[in-house]
Structure 1
Amino acid sequence: MESWFLSTRDAGAVEEMDKPGCDPVRLARTYAQFPLINRVVSRWHGVYTRHIKPLLSPMRETTLLDVGCGGGDIAISLARWAARDGLSLAITAIDPDARAIHFAQASALTHTNVPAVTFRRTHSTTLVAEGAVFDVVISNHLLHHLTPREFQGLLNDSAVLARRSVIHSDIARSPLAYALFSVGTLPFFPGSFIRTDGLTSIRRSYTAPELRAVLPPQWRVASAPPYRNLVLLTAPKHHV
């Protein structure tokens, strides 16, 4: 059993929004609140600035795949930032959950000043079978959802799909992160799964040493404070 100090992963915990029969109203509110929580917690603008923007060009189109895109806010934000910087970025965002893709497509229609993001209900293994290739492959808060077999499958798929870089961003499990999230979200996010599922996500997430223990050669872990891990692969060898 998990200790109070989160010394081990609670891999058996299940997030409410992952349940097929979860409340659709609360689920929609959760997707709608993702942009705010991701701005505060995930901090993708820093990841974009450090790891993605240097790969982009105003003249040559760069392609990016967002795996497990959820409500689509990360993909839409990346498209907005690249457009603002005058850089050419074509984004495909995928999720196997029809509910997520439906919300993401509807949300994208409200962002009229952002280049189109292509949303697909599919899995990374399907794209591998199709022979698809992208310059960059990313995910946000996906790794902790996966079984060990699914985890390794995602890494394998990512290495095949990416020409230049893979960036999987996830929570770093920590007692302090758990306490801060628990207190910080208590008065907010009514009628959604943000707080309950966020706490479950922290319990399910990896520490950096745990990630290093299960990563294949060539992959590395970078800390992204506060309480973030980036699982990175640069120039997958089969595309070099």
Structure 2
Amino acid sequence: MGVWRSLGSRDASVRELMDDPACDAATLARTYDQFRLVNGVVSGAGSVYRRWIRPRLSPVWTTRLLDVGTGGADLPRRWLRRAAAEGLRLEVTAIDPDPRALAAALAANQRDPVPGLELSAATTAELAAADRHFDLVLSNHVLHHLDGLEFGALLADSERLAELGGTVVHGDIERSRLAYAAFAAGTWPFAANLLSGSFIRADGLASIRRSHTAAELEAVLPSGWRVRRATPSRLEVIWQADAAGRARG
């Protein structure tokens, strides 16, 4: 009951088990592997592709996409396969500063290579300093991990990385009692089988508690950024630039 009441405000004190550097390695590996199943449901992978990625793809020129905090890289691998199946040209740079995440992504891509995927331990700050630019800068379930300074730095880096006519979309969970109840109920039947031996269920519930509402994000976003609601229980923090690098509200 205490958790249920606390969902009225963001709980930045709760920690996800997989963020512990000393967490069990085998459990963490299973968690990364199971992200491909869970993200297919909760991350709006298909709608992100249809709304933000596919309209920018071409069979002639290559679209450059940056995936920030890629984890096991299941989402960029999914998008690359879909683009290839449609005869469209996409290249993805997928970054994650956590060496455990990068190792999981590299292992997955070694087992089943997907052309067009570059995996890197670089940070957004390092890419911006190197004057890298992308047509799309995306992230999934990253924002709720960040403190205020990290949040602001990510937005500033993202603007630099997409300044040459690009688009930024940082997707995350929208905190609500409904989202918490739906994830708890939806994962409960699989806790002892499909999701057994992973952090998926516990960390998913912790993620919802750490996440923001649309109003909370709108109150802190810099000029040029906006919030869009998406399904299921998702928020998209969006910034767009024209070819001259000016922000479009």
TMscore range, shorter length = over 0.9
Runs of 4+ in 1 over 6 A off after TM superposition: none
Instruction: Report how many residues are paired.
Output: 239
Deviation sequence 1:133-159 (CA, Å, 0-9, x none): 111100000000000100010000000
Q: Does 1:174 align with 2:180?
A: no
Report the residue type matching 1:108 in the other structure: N
Contact 1:98 1:121 in 2 (8 A): yes
SS in 2 for 1:132: coil
User: Alpha-carbon deviation of 1:234?
Assistant: 1.2
Cα distance, 1:109 vs structure 2: 2.2
Structure 2: gaps (5+ residues): none
SS at match of 2:135: strand
The residue that corresponds to 1:140 in the other structure is 140
- RMSD between aligned residues: 1.5
After TM superposition, the structure 1 = structure 2 runs for residues 4-43 of structure 1, keeping only pairs within 5 Å, are 4=5, 6-43=7-44
- The Cα of 1:44 is off from its aligned counterpart by 1.2
Match of 1:89 in 2: 90
Deviation of residue 2 (structure 1)?
6.5
Indicate how the Cα distance of structure 1 residues 236 and 14 shifts in structure 2: closer, same or farther if over 3 A, else same.
farther
Tell me how far apart the structure 1 counterparts of residues 9 and 244 of structure 2 sit (CA, whole Å). 35
Q: Which residue of 2 aligns with 1:232?
A: 238
Where does 1:127-166 land on structure 2 (aligned, <5 Å)? 127-162=127-162, 163=164, 164-166=166-168
For 2:117, the equivalent position in structure 1 comes to: 117
Task: Give deviations 1:194-219, integer Å, cap 9, x for gaps.
Answer: 00000000000011111111111111
Deviation for aligned residue 1:238: 5.8
Q: Is 1:67 the equivalent of 2:68?
A: yes
Are the counterparts in 1 of residues 174 and 235 from structure 2 also a CA contact under 8 Å? Answer: yes
Contact 1:2/1:10 (8 A) holds in 2: no
Partner of 1:199: 205
Mapped to 2, the partners of 1:208 and 1:236 lie a distance apart of 25
CA distance in 2, matches of 1:127, 1:101: 16
Looking at structure 2, the residues matched to 5 and 146 of structure 1 have their Cα atoms a distance apart, in angstroms, of 19
Report if the CA contact (8 A) 2:184-2:201 is conserved: yes
SS in 1 for 2:105: helix
CA pair 2-184 structure 1, distance change in 2 beyond 3 A: closer
Q: What SS is found at the alignment partner of 2:139?
A: strand
Deviates more, 1:92-101 or 1:120-129: 120-129
Alpha-carbon shift at residue 226 of structure 1 (Å): 2.0
Gap runs ≥5 in structure 1? none
DSSP 3-state at the match of 1:185: helix
Contact 2:4–2:177 (8 Å) recurs in 1: no
Question: What does the per-residue CA deviation read over 1:153-176, in whole Å, with 9 as the maximum and x for residues that have no partner?
Answer: 000000000131001110000101
Q: Secondary structure at the match of 1:223?
A: strand
Say if 1:160 and 1:238, in contact at 8 Å, map to a contact too.
no
Q: d(CA) in 2 for partners of 1:177 and 1:221?
A: 18
Identify which range, 177-186 or 64-73, moves more after superposition.
Answer: 177-186
Deviation at 1:5, TM superposition (A): 5.4
**Shift in alpha-carbon separation, 1:237–1:209, aligned structure 2, 3 A:** farther
CA distance in 2 between partners of 1:236 and 1:225 (Å):
27
Partners of 1:2 and 1:9 within 8 A in 2? no
Partner Cα distance (2:48, 2:116) in 1: 21
Whole-angstrom distance in 1 between the partners of 2:223 and 2:3: 29
Q: Share of identical aligned residues, percent? A: 51
- Residue 137 of structure 1 contacts residue 165 of structure 1 at CA under 8 Å; is this kept in 2? yes
1:79 aligned to 2:80? yes
